[in-house]
Amino acid sequence: MPVQALAADAQVQESAAKVAGPAKYPNQTEGDYTVRDFTFQSGETLPSLRLHYTTLGTPQRDAKGQVTNAVLLLHGTTGTGKAYLAPSIAGELFGPGQTLDASRYYIIVPDGLGRGGSTKPSDGLRAHFPRYGYNDVVAAQQLLVTKGLGVDHLRLILGTSMGGMQAWMWAERYPDMMDAIMPIACQPISISGRNYLFRRVLTDSIRNDPDWNGGDYKAPPRHWLNTMPLWSMMLESPVQLQAKGPTRAAASGLYDKMVENASKNFDANDFLYWLESSWDYDPQQDLGKIKAALVAVNFADDAINPSDLVVVEKLVQSVPTARFVLVPESERTIGHRTLSLAAIWKPYLEQLLAGTSSPGAGR
């Protein structure tokens, strides 16, 4: 794997954690962890890197003081850790008696580097922000988990989309640090083919927007936003898009709504970095390093990870501890966005957890 992007003796500080409003789950807490002099794989540094996170539940320790019930959840490209608190995920997983019952598990949900409450280009550096890649994001996540939260072993790492890709990387880089891995809606190969092409359309539209000004814009550029419906076209199934735009007039209105929503929710520089940060993602070469039990789940109507490429089912054959599940298209699935519907994929999570050690049982 590429060199871990962190200083050997990085100084770290954790801000006083703050409770995230009325807690819905046991000990629901938000906090910021600050890494001093964080070094990126490019050699660039930031004197202070803020990593925002949410945790649910309480860590349980064995006789040796090791945490036995920690779960790390990694979000997708345009999301933050808050995506896991949506009812369609949290309501299926974190309640009493549910798969990841927050009274039994210690659930860690970070905002990845460059996103949400973590340090990102739009905080001030704009396009002068260090060129980070997924290896930098994973290195920062590992610092948060180990140095910030004092967890040296994970019961489970689960990630969706980009988070799933980073879960593959965790499994290879830190093979002895987790019991189970569940990457959802992704593939363990470099970004290529259609996946690369649609990303390139979007990033080039930002770089060529006359108002982008090399990232030093005074007012948010808007020309690039006209390509944003492509994002939804890749994330949603044709059935869903047809239902939302069943006539020419309705589809035209849907296009305008997508552009307007993007203008409200995305900063051009942040979005550019999000898509381009996959430049160093290529886990295929190190799949043999994986030791944890792994279940990879994809969806048959996912345009970003098309099932007809037959990529994942072939590659998991090189990982003795792994298996692949392809969820068939149905009236319940919604393309790539099916990742947000935990009711569809949680049976496979339950099987994965049942086949590995349980909280309190040690390793």
The predicted model gives 70-85 an average pLDDT of 97
Q: Is residue 362 over pLDDT 90?
A: no
CATH architecture of the domain 12-190+280-354 equals 3-Layer(aba) Sandwich (3.40)
Alpha carbon 182 to its chain centroid, in Å, reads 12
How many percent of the chain have pLDDT more than 90?
91
Check if the beta carbon of residue 295 is closer than 8 Å to that of residue 325: yes
Residue with tokens 């959840």: 73
- How much is the average pLDDT of 323-332? 96
For residues 37-44, average pLDDT: 97
Question: Which residues, in sequence order, are CB contacts of 264 under 8 Å at separation 6+?
Answer: none
Q: How confident is the model at residue 23 (pLDDT cuts 50, 70, 90)?
A: low
101-125 pLDDT, tens digit per residue, is: 999 999 999 999 999 999 999 999 9
Confidence band (pLDDT; 50, 70, 90) for 7?
Answer: very low
Residues of the chain with pLDDT > 70, as a percent, come to: 92
Residues 6+ apart with CB under 8 A from 354: none
| pLDDT higher than threshold 80 for residue 211 | yes
pLDDT score, position 358: 54
pLDDT of res. 321: 96
Two tokens at 175?
């093979």
The answer to whether the CB of 152 falls within 8 A of the CB of 146 is yes
**Contact between 132 and 43 (Cβ < 8 Å):** no
Going by pLDDT thresholds of 50, 70 and 90, the confidence category of residue 24 is: confident
Region for 91 from its dihedrals, namely left if φ exceeds 0, alpha if ψ lies in -120 to 50, beta otherwise: alpha
Query: Tens of pLDDT along 141-166?
Result: 999 999 999 999 999 999 999 999 99
Alpha-carbon span 55 to 330, nearest angstrom: 34
Identify the band that residue 8 occupies on the pLDDT scale cut at 50, 70 and 90: very low
Task: With H, G, I as helix, E, B as strand and everything else as coil, classify residue 188.
Answer: coil
**CATH no., domain 193-277:** 1.10.1740.110
What average pLDDT does range 81-102 have in this prediction? 97
pLDDT at 18 over 80: no
Over residues 46-67, the mean pLDDT reads 96
Question: What is the CA 131 to chain-centroid distance, rounded?
Answer: 18
Instruction: Look over the chain and give the mean of its residue pLDDT values, rounded to a whole number.
Output: 92
Q: Where are the alpha helices (DSSP H) in the chain?
A: 87-93, 134-143, 162-173, 193-207, 229-235, 238-244, 248-265, 268-276, 312-315, 342-354
- Token pair for residue 355? 């086949």
Query: Cα torsion for 214, 219, 220, 222, to the nearest 10°?
Result: -100
Q: Quick check: 19 pLDDT over 50?
A: no
pLDDT in tens, 170-196: 999 999 999 999 999 999 999 999 999
Closest CA to 83 of 106, 103, 110: 110
User: Where exactly are the structural domains of the chain?
Assistant: 12-190+280-354, 193-277
Strands (E), the chain: 12-14, 18-19, 29-39, 45-56, 70-74, 106-110, 154-160, 178-184, 293-299, 322-327
Using only C-alpha atoms, the chain has a radius of gyration, in whole angstroms, of 20
Q: pTM of the predicted model, to two decimals? A: 0.92
Distance CA 20, CA 5 (A): 30
Q: Give pLDDT, residue 170.
A: 98
> What value does the mean pLDDT take over residues 123-131?
97
Compute the distance between CA of residue 112 and CA of residue 209 in angstroms, rounded to an integer.
Answer: 27
pLDDT at residue 14, rounded to an integer: 39
pLDDT attached to residue 2: 39
DSSP state of 21: S
Q: Kindly report the number of other CB atoms within 10 A of residue 88's CB atom.
A: 13
As a whole number, mean pLDDT of residues 84-113 equals 97
Residue 201 in this model has a pLDDT that exceeds 70:
yes
- Report pLDDT digits (tens) over 215-273: 999 999 999 999 999 999 999 999 999 999 999 999 999 999 999 999 999 999 999 99
CA gap 62, 240 in Å, rounded: 48
pLDDT at 10: 39
